[in-house]
């Protein structure tokens, strides 16, 4: 005979030992997980689209840069929340992932890889930590108490190193892709250049 308490016993076991079922119930079944993903996707898309539009690129790359910004932000956030990688490590993997995807899309759009990738990375740079490092430095200069100055100085170096390491990881991820597809990046716009020469 089927034991109707078996399901509750299993759920209780996993909730006590790993918390996996509890997270799935509260985040996915109640809708907050999907709402968070959709919210992050929209915000990152708008940021990437806005940065791309400000750089006046070809119109066909606008939407793709926004999509890549969303993919990069969500993938980095997921890696960090899972505890698999640190802020810098997750940024490197996300940048590498965006670079690989951008390479294939740029080939189809016949656009330079840099035009598709770089605007998508701009929303991922840790501007928050750069702002906090500047504020800490200004507070360090303003105050005269040694203990308070030391606290602000440590805060400055802490925020600055996070900003520097994450920015370096983002750039390193893209440079890896560009170094691998270095020759192809010059060939992607060759058809467009020939077409323009023939038209003239």
CA atoms of 5 and 155, how far apart (whole Å): 53
User: What are the backbone angles phi and psi of residue 4, rounded to the nearest 5°?
Assistant: -70, -15
Strands (DSSP E) found in the chain: none
Q: Is residue 8 part of a domain?
A: no
Closest of 66, 89, 68 to residue 79, by C-alpha: 89
Q: What pLDDT sits at residue 194?
A: 44
pLDDT digits (tens, 9 = 90+) for 42-68: 888 888 888 778 777 777 788 888 888
Token pair 């968070």 is found at 36
pLDDT digits (tens, 9 = 90+) for 105-129: 888 888 888 888 888 888 888 888 9
pTM, 2 dp? 0.69
Q: Is residue 176 part of a domain?
A: yes
Q: Is residue 23 part of a domain?
A: no
63 touches 54 (CB < 8 A): no
Q: Is residue 11 part of a domain?
A: no
How many degrees, rounded to 5, is the angle at CA 185 between CA 121 and CA 192? 110
User: What are the backbone angles phi and psi of residue 2, rounded to the nearest 5°?
Assistant: -75, 135
Exposure string of 4-23, with b = 16+ CB inside 10 Å and e = fewer, is: eeeeeeeeeeeeeeeeebee
Joined together, the tokens standing for residue 50 give: 């806005």
Q: Is residue 137 part of a domain?
A: no
Domains in the chain: how many in total?
1
Helix (H, G, I), strand (E, B) or coil at 5: coil
The sign one gets for the Cα dihedral 47, 53, 56, 62 is positive
If one compares 12 and 143, the residue with the highest pLDDT of the two is 143
* 12-19 mean pLDDT: 48
Q: Is residue 66 part of a domain?
A: yes
Q: Is residue 90 part of a domain?
A: yes
* 155-181 mean pLDDT: 91
CA atoms of 49 and 47, how far apart (whole Å): 5
Q: What pLDDT sits at residue 7?
A: 45
Range of the domain at 114: 36-125+169-181
């Amino acid at each position: 005979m089927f034991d109707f308490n078996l399901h509750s016993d299993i759920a209780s076991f996993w909730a006590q030992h790993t918390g996996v079922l509890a997270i799935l119930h509260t985040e996915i079944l109640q809708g907050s997980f999907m709402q968070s993903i959709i919210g992050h996707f929209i915000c990152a898309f708008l940021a990437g689209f806005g940065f791309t539009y400000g750089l006046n690129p070809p119109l066909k790359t606008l939407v793709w840069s926004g999509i890549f910004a969303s993919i990069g932000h969500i993938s980095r956030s997921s890696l960090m929340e899972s505890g698999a990688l640190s802020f810098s490590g997750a940024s490197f993997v996300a940048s590498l992932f965006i670079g690989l995807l951008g390479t294939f899309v740029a080939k189809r759009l016949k656009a330079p890889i840099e035009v598709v990738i770089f605007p998508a990375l701009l929303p991922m740079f840790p501007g928050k930590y750069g702002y906090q490092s500047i504020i800490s430095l200004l507070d360090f200069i303003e105050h005269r108490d040694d203990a308070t100055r030391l606290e602000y100085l440590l805060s400055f170096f802490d925020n600055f190193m996070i900003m520097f390491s994450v920015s370096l990881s983002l750039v390193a991820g893209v440079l890896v892709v560009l170094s691998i597809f270095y020759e192809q990046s010059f060939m992607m716009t060759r058809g467009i250049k020939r077409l323009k020469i023939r038209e003239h």
